[in-house]
Amino acid sequence: MSVSEELKRLHELHQAGALSDEEFARAKEKLLQGSPQAGGDFASDFGSLRRARNDRWLGGVCGGIGARTGVESWIWRLVFALFSATFGFGLLIYILLWIFVPEDEMTGI
């Protein structure tokens, strides 16, 4: 998808109320400052994933994924809970991410 199509999609989501003003601004900035390559490199995206220190219930995995993807962390918590209840492997994935994903560094304090 081209940058203009992505911007149009973000604008439509913002107008529909699916994205707050802050989320829209972050997503737009990320899109405009992103690399010119089409699509992201999964290895580098996964390598930049960090567990959250300030948005956590257990290990900060969902808070970190939420911060990286721009999706609210409660949605990721719901996804992990549904996968755990339905398929049984959501808890295993969460535990593996808790073990292998490093914690976010302290900033500002």
Mean pLDDT per block of 10 residues along the chain (109 residues) reads 76 83 84 59 61 75 80 84 84 81 65
Q: What is the DSSP letter of 44?
A: H
User: According to the model, what pLDDT value does residue 34 have?
Assistant: 67
User: According to the model, what pLDDT value does residue 108 have?
Assistant: 45
Smallest Cα–Cα separation from 67: which of 26, 34, 109?
26
CA–CA separation, 26 and 79 (whole Å): 23
User: According to the model, what pLDDT value does residue 24 have?
Assistant: 84
User: According to the model, what pLDDT value does residue 109 have?
Assistant: 45
User: According to the model, what pLDDT value does residue 43 have?
Assistant: 52
User: According to the model, what pLDDT value does residue 104 have?
Assistant: 76
Q: Token match 């960090």: residue? A: 50
User: According to the model, what pLDDT value does residue 38 have?
Assistant: 44
Two tokens, residue 4: 């203009």
